[in-house]
Amino acid sequence: MSAPTDDRTALVVGAGAIGASWSALLAHHGWQVLVTDPDPAAHDRLRSQASTFLADLGSPEALERIVTGVSVAEGGSHARVVLEAGPERLELKRELIAALDAACPPEVVIASSSSGLLPSAFQSAARHPERVLVAHPFNPPHLVPLVEIVPGRATSEAAVEHLDGLLRSWGRRPIRLHREVPGHVANRLQAALWREAYHLVATGVVSAADLDVAVAEGPGLRWALLGPLLTQHLSGGPGGLQHVLDHLGPPMVEWWHDLGTPEFTDDLVATLVAGVAEEIEGIEGGEAAARARRDRALLGLLTLKSELGLATR
């Protein structure tokens, strides 16, 4: 592989769905992307997925900026940033971080896409732990702007600020966590909603299809624009959030005490899977068509939010 012509070269570790989406995003923004994965077949899949993603972004020609099949050592020697998107297994993550740390110059930030592991648990495998942290994207990263930056105990402020700047240059909206917690922020919020959703479906309160309607055609519409707290503030009229909490806070506490704590049993899984399968049967074109329409809608919503000045700061 010839040396890159500028400093906009990234190494993506892992050729799965997240790696393909990261690769497409960076190539779209003019970066050369080097991809490493131990599975030779994964590289063809990545190029196929990245081609579709780049078509979504309107720059199919950028596929030529993605180079697959490089080694960690080769890619690390050229990379100016590393996006690690390997399997969510701590010991494997530690092995990858150690190998990347050995391959990359000390100033290169190594960002893991881990969806729940704490960076302090694997950055200790590096000789330069100060440049290791989590940059957890929201799937699919080439469309959804959110990225959670989670520094570990040894991560330097310089690494956080550098990564924040890179993410913003790629059109992402990073947030910074000030303390490590399992699952970070967005996945914990999802888990809280899913817990009650599973409970309501399992206990026969509502069907899976109607539960999705309850979110997608109700609060989800407003949350997509401003988030839950600012939405709640705006619902309070002149008194804002203070008025809402004064009047609805006590009843909400009663609801908290009544929320379900379902057990993750085989029966629960079967009920949920059957409910979603029935829901998909009612969608014209099935699952693939639903996913494609979702992605087109995401692009449209992001464009509309930008036009209306509702894009987050």
How large is the average pLDDT for residues 34-48? 95
Percent of the chain, pLDDT > 70? 97
pLDDT of residue 313: 53
* DSSP code per residue over the chain: -PPPSSS-EEEEE--SHHHHHHHHHHHHTT-EEEEE-S-HHHHHHHHHHHHHHHHHHT-GGGGGGEEES--HHHHHHH-SEEEE---S-HHHHHHHHHHHHHHS-TTSEEEE--SS--THHHHTTSS-GGGEEEEEE-SSTTT--EEEEEE-TT--HHHHHHHHHHHHHTT-EEEE-SS--TTTTHHHHHHHHHHHHHHHHHTTSS-HHHHHHHHHTTHHHHHHHH-HHHHHHHTTGGGHHHHHHHHHHHHHHHHHHH-------HHHHHHHHHHHHHHHHTSTTHHHHHHHHHHHHHHHHHHHHHHTT-S--
- Report the C-alpha gap between 106 and 162 in whole angstroms: 14
Residue 2 has pLDDT above 60, yes or no: no
Question: Rg for the chain (alpha carbons), in Å?
Answer: 21
Q: pLDDT, tens digit, for every residue of 46-73?
A: 999 999 999 999 999 999 999 999 999 9
149: which 2 tokens?
């930056």
Of 215, 195, 201, 214, residue with least CA distance to 274: 201
Q: Which domains does the chain have, with CATH numbers?
A: 9-176 (3.40.50.720), 186-282 (1.10.1040.10)
Instruction: Kindly tell me if the per-residue pLDDT of 273 is higher than 60.
Output: yes
Residue 311 has pLDDT above 90, yes or no: no
Distance, CA of 69 to CA of 87 (rounded, Å): 18
Mean pLDDT calculated for residue range 223-234: 92
- The pLDDT tens digits of the residues spanning 186-204 come to 999 999 999 999 999 999 9
Ranking 27-36, 67-76, 80-89, 229-238 by mean pLDDT, the lowest is 229-238
Tens digits of residue pLDDT in 85-134: 999 999 999 999 999 999 999 999 999 999 999 999 999 999 999 999 99
User: Confidence band (pLDDT; 50, 70, 90) for 282?
Assistant: confident
